[in-house]
Amino acid sequence: MLLGCIGDDFTGSSDLANTLSKQGMRVTQFSGVPQGAADPSVEAGIVALKSRSIPADEAIAQSLKALEWLKAQGCTQFLFKYCSTFDSTPEGNIGPVATALAEALNAEKVVVCPAFPGAGRTLYQGHLFVHDQLLNESGMEHHPLNPMTDADIRRWLARQTQLSVGHVGYEHVRQGATGIAAALDQANASGARLIVVDAVTDTDLIEIGTALDGLPLITGGSGIALGLPENFRRRGLLAGTGNKWTGVAGQSVVLSGSCSTATRGQVARHSQAGLPMFEIKADAAIAGQLEPKHIAQWALKQTKRPLIYSSADPQVVRQVQETYGRERAADAIEGLFGAIARELVAGGIGRLIVAGGETSGAVVESLTIEALEIGPEIAPGVPALLATSRDGDKLALALKSGNFGGPDFFADADSLLSP
Ligand SMILES: Nc1ncnc2c1ncn2[C@@H]1O[C@H](COP(=O)(O)OP(=O)(O)OP(=O)(O)O)[C@@H](O)[C@H]1O
Ligand SMILES: O=C(O)[C@@H](O)C(=O)CO
């Protein structure tokens, strides 16, 4: 294993897996820190954690454990993947985890770059944009778990870490790899250890990737990985075989716990198409009135792709959170989705499409999936995934980040996951 990655959620990890796989690396995504050693053919290993929205000290402990395992697999470079919308609160967890990893690796110049131009996330003058809107005006200011109320990533990060935060502006990035490397040195010479780097296009990210050759720690969205495989390829370290893929037959089900704008559009499209849908009401889930077995049985009886969803408008989510507390609501709904997924898999489904990072984490953990093979891209940032149980049963999955995918994502995913 060459490149060791730590993802702070499951959909984000598969987003990164997609980028690395498209750039020709053999990639495996692991659910949590594996017990044993990885298959020696894996070139980039991604340990997917569910550490985005847990207390910072727990996120640090899990990330350091993942780092130790990745080191033991032989990795020489490490990447901490977080969301391209920099999902975090003033307490963390991006700053605390990046700080702990930097200390553990004695990393002096640590790039911080959430940019993902393919999904409309660009970083300019230290400010993060979602398409043509500043992050804090993009809808992310209403996020149920981490409302993003400041687009200045330097300022937001500085609230989360003791390390000094620097910046490499676009005037250096546009000079290419050599200019970027010199600007990183300069920022570090002025005392900065976490260095926010502007990036507007994929070409910028490839140049940044070239400049990062040999640095122990990199942090960012999946875009920051675009230029990294080439550094290994140049040294003749990649086998060049990529990943293989076959879809899975049988029934498919969609689970959506995401309340993001894109997901709500996909839920609306599913409804317009007249496909079967079952709404999980937060109140009923929190009161323990919903029986996972019954909901799964309803889905298993459907002949067309059913959707089970708790996705709701921001004002509905706000009301639920004010009544019950954010964590209580999230735990109840995520727990329910996990339990439904177990019943569905026991019922023999072949394909499972999950919307939402936290929801996907809850589902994959509940299914005790250890490793996921990476298949072709369904939409920018979302690959097809394949899990194989100890008995050889296959489940094809799509784990979709809240704001990813076009309105027809559920249909697109289902057809790509099919044989
Ligand atoms: N109706 C609801 N009321 C309150 N909370 C909800 C409701 N539906 C879902 N949730 C919770 O909101 C959170 C949504 O987070 P999740 O990460 O799954 O989606 P997302 O934020 O859209 O996706 P991503 O993190 O990939 O951007 C989950 O913890 C989920 O349980
Ligand atoms: O970077 C992104 O936007 C996604 O991979 C993600 O992490 C959203 O949860």
- Condensed to tens digits (0 to 9), the pLDDT of residues 321-357 reads 999 999 999 999 999 999 999 999 999 999 999 999 9
Ligand with the closest atom to the CA of 140: 1
Which of 85, 354, 374, 385 maximizes ligand 2 atoms within 8 Å of its Cβ, making it the mutation to test the pocket? Answer: 85
| Ligand 2 neighbourhood includes 220 CB (under 6 angstroms) | no
The full set of domain ranges for the chain reads: 3-234, 252-417
Kindly state the tokens that stand for 376.
């072709």
Q: How many CB atoms neighbour CB 346 within 10 A?
A: 11
- Burial label, 243 (beta-carbon count in 10 A; 0-12, 13-18, 19+): buried
Q: Which CATH class is domain 3-234?
A: alpha beta
Task: Give the pLDDT of residue 389.
Answer: 86
Kindly state the tokens that stand for 413.
């995913």
Instruction: Give the pLDDT band (50/70/90) at residue 391.
Output: confident
The span from the CA of 227 to the CA of 203, in Å, is 9
Q: Is the peptide bond before 93 cis (omega within 30 degrees of 0)?
A: yes
pTM value is: 0.93
> With respect to CATH, is domain 252-417 assigned 3.50.50.60?
no
Closest CA to 268 of 407, 396, 97, 389: 407
Separation of CA 151 from chain center? 20
User: From the CA of 402, how far away is ligand 2's center (Å)?
Assistant: 8
User: From the CA of 145, how far away is ligand 1's center (Å)?
Assistant: 7
Position 144 pLDDT exceeds 80: no
User: From the CA of 223, how far away is ligand 1's center (Å)?
Assistant: 24
pLDDT digits (tens, 9 = 90+) for 36-82: 999 999 999 999 999 999 999 999 999 999 999 999 999 999 999 99
pLDDT digits (tens, 9 = 90+) for 161-208: 999 999 999 999 999 999 999 999 999 999 999 999 999 999 999 999
**ipTM summary value:** 0.97
The span from the CA of 351 to the CA of 345, in Å, is 9
Instruction: Give the pLDDT band (50/70/90) at residue 244.
Output: confident
Kindly state the tokens that stand for 128.
């993060």
Residue whose CA is closest, atom 25 of ligand 1? 357
Q: Do residues 34 and 69 make contact, with C-beta atoms less than 8 angstroms apart?
A: yes
Task: Give the pLDDT of residue 335.
Answer: 98
| Ligand 2 neighbourhood includes 23 CB (under 6 angstroms) | no
Q: What are phi and psi of 198, to 5 degrees?
A: -65, 150
The span from the CA of 210 to the CA of 232, in Å, is 10
The span from the CA of 355 to the CA of 174, in Å, is 36
The span from the CA of 247 to the CA of 332, in Å, is 32
Average model confidence (pLDDT) for the chain? 96
